[in-house]
């Protein structure tokens, strides 16, 4: 029985510790909750090849996979601690506390330094250790008692065998379960009430000095099953290293531009709102997007141009990168060369709403034509003019490029799956955000001639463009390939290259089964 119960006591103690630690983290910073902080650090540590393998295997689920691994590891260690605690109480209790210390260490190596960051994990370790000790002691048999019958003094004394006080033990276990459940539920609820949610809901966005006309119908290829030209916020791909989405209230937000500048500039959210606003249709894309993949989205962004602020600060000629930092410590390197031509933006609105929290509320960067990892800092709080030599950014030290303009590329979206023979429509997306837009799209069927596809309207050279083609499909298996030509007449390359270090190349080639 004990063989079964003791490991469970260990797991229960760990849960109680984590629950109380997470509750403490609601105030000290949700990112420092014991499990989440270990997962965050675990995500940052592995060398580039491991990270790349994880991303290509698990995609955007990678963070959940890491959290699951941390939880499984904690359960295993806690069960072990529970099972040894009966014979060696100190060992079990120390194991619990050491789990907490692991969390505290993970917190200390997070890039954002807060002296209180290790506190939730320390609290978790202490609570888990105390609960384990308490439950083990409660389930120890009481000393044997000797009863001497009073009515017959000559009779031999009766020895009452040691027993466990079941009632007290069960009360103890029940109490711990109730407390842990209450702490877990409160931490969840308080977290969901996080101030950033309220702050975002109350944000009133200014209008652009020259609002864009509504998106014309002509940008949409007249083909069933095509993705919408504007990606709805709820469908927009999300990529970041944040296990816990940073919660920033707009009234607490500031942006500092410093480093190799004439005079550092710091602005508040209200000051940002009073700057001239522009609206832009810009497609952003992840460098980790494989050919044909969907880590790409197009939105109508509202923001203020970054260049005037950089000019106000006065960037030194010696600086070659802008190192932008998010409130969670993630860093991004943007090449200064050619930056002004791209119209970099500090963005506050996305498709007519305040930025969604997971897309960077209250303020993020968007720089047309550069992959997200070197341009699109969410929850941005600092932009430092510096050099690549002095300060490599998050992905730079993990083997990715420092200058990575979006490569001209294209994708086949329809048809998907099996289709009936006869008149069929092919359709998809093409983009050349760093190549003056898309001037042509060509389709190749079964290795034949490249044929021109029809093009929907191009709303902006830095937004994607839809294409389609009518095709008389005969029964059988067919291979369809697509390639884009940019605004400078350069044809997308068919050379096959993986995503690291600066973006995948090759044609999107699909097999279509016609019946």
Ligand X SMILES: Nc1nc2c(c(=O)[nH]1)N[C@H]1C(S)=C(S)[C@@H](COP(=O)(O)O)O[C@H]1N2
* Among ligand X, Mo ion, none, partner that 469 touches (CB below 5 to 8 angstroms by kind): none
Is 376 a binder of ligand X (CB under 6 A)? yes
Residue 372 engages ligand X in binding (rule: CB under 6 A)? yes
370 forms beta bridges with 405
Q: In what order do the strands lie in the sheet with 465-473?
A: 409-414, 422-431, 465-473, 454-455
- Applying CB under 6 A, among 330, 431, 464, 507 the residue interacting with ligand X is 330
Interface residue with ligand X among 229, 237, 301, 471 (CB under 6 A) is 237
Near ligand X by CB under 6 A: residue from 6, 36, 52, 240:
240
Nearest-angstrom CA–CA distance, 507 and 197: 41
Residue number with CB closer to Mo ion (324 or 458): 324
Cα angle for residues 87, 91, 97 (degrees, 5° grid): 140
With CB cut-offs between 5 and 8 Å by kind, which of ligand X, Mo ion, none does residue 330 bind? ligand X
269 interacts with ligand X by CB under 6 A: no
DSSP summary character for residue 113: -
Binder of residue 497, out of ligand X, Mo ion, none (CB less than 5 to 8 A by kind): none
Torsion of CA 29, 31, 33, 39, to 10 degrees: -170
In the set 32, 379, 471, 507, which binds ligand X (CB under 6 A)? Answer: 379
Quick one: which of 231, 326, 386, 458 contacts ligand X (CB under 6 A)? 326
Q: Is 32 near ligand X (CB under 6 A)?
A: no
Q: Is the CB of residue 212 less than 8 Å from the CB of residue 277?
A: no
SS3 letters across 322-347:
EEEEECCCCEEEEECCCCHHHCCEEE
Stretch that binds ligand X, among 120-128, 232-240, 404-412, 437-445 (CB under 6 A): 232-240
Q: Which H or E element spans position 283?
A: strand 278-285
Task: Show the binding pattern over residues 335-364: x = contacts ligand X (CB under 6 A), - = does not.
Answer: ------------------------x-----
The position carrying tokens 């009779």 is: 155
For the CB of residue 229, give the shortest distance to ligand X in the complex, in Å: 17
Figure out which of the listed residues 114, 241, 387, 493 binds ligand X, where binding follows CB under 6 A. Answer: 241
* CA–CA distance, 175 with 298 (Å, rounded to integer): 52
Report the sign of the C-alpha dihedral through residues 148, 150, 156, 162, in that order.
negative
The entry of Mo ion, ligand X, none that residue 240 binds, CB within 5 to 8 Å by partner kind: ligand X
Taking the least distance from each CB to ligand X, the nearer of 357 and 459 is 357
Helix (H, G, I), strand (E, B) or coil at 49: helix
- Closest approach, Cβ 458 to ligand X, in A, equals 22
Closer to ligand X by CB, 45 or 148: give it.
Answer: 45
Nearest in space to 427 (alpha carbons), one of 212, 163, 227: 227
238 binds, among Mo ion, ligand X, none (CB under 5 to 8 A by kind): ligand X
**Consecutive H or E run containing 259:** strand 254-259
- Contact between 300 and 280 (Cβ < 8 Å): yes
Among 51, 378, 382, 398, indicate the residue that binds ligand X (CB under 6 A). 378
| Residue 313 near residue 368 (C-beta atoms within 8 A) | no
Interface with ligand X, residue 236, by CB under 6 A? yes
Residue 471 touches which of ligand X, Mo ion, none (CB < 5 to 8 A by kind)?
Answer: none
Name the site residues for Mo ion (rule: CB under 5 A). 239, 286, 372-373
Give the angle subtended at the CA of 77 by the CAs of 74 and 79, to the nearest 5°.
Answer: 105
Which of 361, 373, 400, 464 is the binder for ligand X (CB under 6 A)?
373
- Residue 496's SS3 state is coil
Quickly count: other Cβ atoms within 10 Å of residue 214's Cβ.
7
Which does residue 440 bind out of ligand X, Mo ion, none, counting CB within 5 to 8 angstroms by kind? none
Q: 34: part of which helix (H) or strand (E)?
A: helix 34-44
* Burial zone of 30 (CB within 10 Å; 0-12 exposed, 13-18 middle, 19+ buried): buried
- Beta strands 380-386 and 254-259: pairing type? parallel
Q: Which of 132, 239, 291, 302 binds ligand X (CB under 6 A)?
A: 239
CB atoms within 10 A of CB 311: 12
**CB 236 → ligand X: shortest distance, Å?**
6
Closest residue by beta carbon to Mo ion = 286
Min dist CB 448 to ligand X, Å, is: 35
**With CB cut-offs between 5 and 8 Å by kind, which of ligand X, Mo ion, none does residue 482 bind?**
none
CB of 489 to ligand X, least distance (A): 28
Which residues of this chain interact with ligand X, rule CB under 6 A?
236-242, 286, 326, 330, 359, 372-373, 376-379
């Amino acid at each position: 029985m004990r063989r079964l119960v003791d490991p469970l006591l260990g797991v229960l103690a760990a849960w109680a510790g984590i629950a109380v630690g997470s509750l403490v983290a609601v105030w000290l910073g949700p990112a420092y909750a014991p499990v989440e902080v270990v997962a965050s650090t675990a995500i940052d540590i592995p060398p580039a090849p491991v990270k790349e393998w994880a991303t290509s295997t698990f995609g955007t689920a990678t963070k959940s996979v890491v959290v699951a691994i941390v939880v499984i590891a904690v359960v295993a260690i806690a069960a072990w601690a529970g099972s040894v605690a009966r014979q060696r109480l100190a060992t079990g209790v120390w194991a619990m506390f050491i789990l907490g210390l692991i969390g505290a260490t993970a917190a200390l190596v997070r890039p954002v330094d807060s002296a209180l960051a290790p506190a939730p994990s320390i609290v978790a370790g202490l609570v888990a250790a105390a609960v384990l000790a308490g439950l083990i002691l409660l389930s120890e048999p009481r000393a044997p008692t000797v009863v001497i019958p009073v009515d017959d003094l000559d009779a031999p004394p009766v020895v009452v065998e040691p027993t466990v006080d079941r009632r007290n033990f069960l009360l103890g276990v029940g109490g711990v379960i109730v407390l842990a459940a209450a702490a877990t539920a409160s931490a969840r609820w308080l977290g969901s009430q996080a101030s950033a949610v309220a702050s975002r809901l109350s944000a009133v966005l200014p209008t652009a000095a020259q609002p864009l006309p509504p998106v014309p119908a002509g940008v949409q290829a007249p083909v069933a099953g095509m993705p919408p030209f504007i990606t709805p916020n709820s469908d927009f791909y999300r990529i970041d290293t944040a296990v816990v989405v940073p919660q920033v209230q707009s009234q607490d937000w500031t942006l500092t531009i410093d480093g190799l500048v004439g005079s550092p500039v710091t602005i508040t959210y209200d000051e940002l709102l009073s700057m001239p606003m522009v609206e832009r249709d810009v497609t952003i894309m992840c460098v980790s997007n494989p050919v044909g993949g969907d880590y790409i989205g197009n939105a109508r962004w509202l923001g203020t141009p970054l260049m005037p602020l950089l000019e106000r600060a006065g960037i030194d000629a010696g600086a070659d990168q802008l190192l932008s930092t998010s409130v969670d410590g993630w860093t991004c390197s943007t090449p200064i060369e050619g930056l002004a031509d791209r119209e970099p933006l500090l963005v506050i609105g996305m498709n007519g709403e305040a930025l969604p929290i997971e897309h960077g509320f209250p303020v993020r960067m968007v720089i047309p034509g550069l992959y997200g990892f070197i341009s699109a800092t969410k929850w941005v709080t600092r932009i430092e003019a510096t050099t690549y030599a002095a300060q490599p950014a998050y992905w730079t030290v993990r083997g990715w490029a420092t200058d990575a303009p979006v490569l001209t590329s294209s994708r086949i979206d329809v048809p998907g799956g099996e289709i009936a023979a006869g008149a069929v429509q092919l359709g998809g997306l093409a983009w050349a955000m760093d190549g003056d837009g898309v001037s042509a799209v060509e389709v190749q069927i079964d290795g034949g001639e490249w044929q021109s596809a029809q093009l929907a309207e191009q709303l902006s050279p830095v937004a994607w463009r839809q294409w389609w083609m009518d095709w008389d499909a005969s029964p059988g298996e067919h291979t369809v390939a697509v390639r884009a030509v940019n605004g400078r007449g350069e044809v997308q390359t068919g050379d096959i290259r993986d995503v690291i270090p600066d973006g995948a190349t090759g044609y999107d080639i699909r097999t279509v089964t016609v019946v």
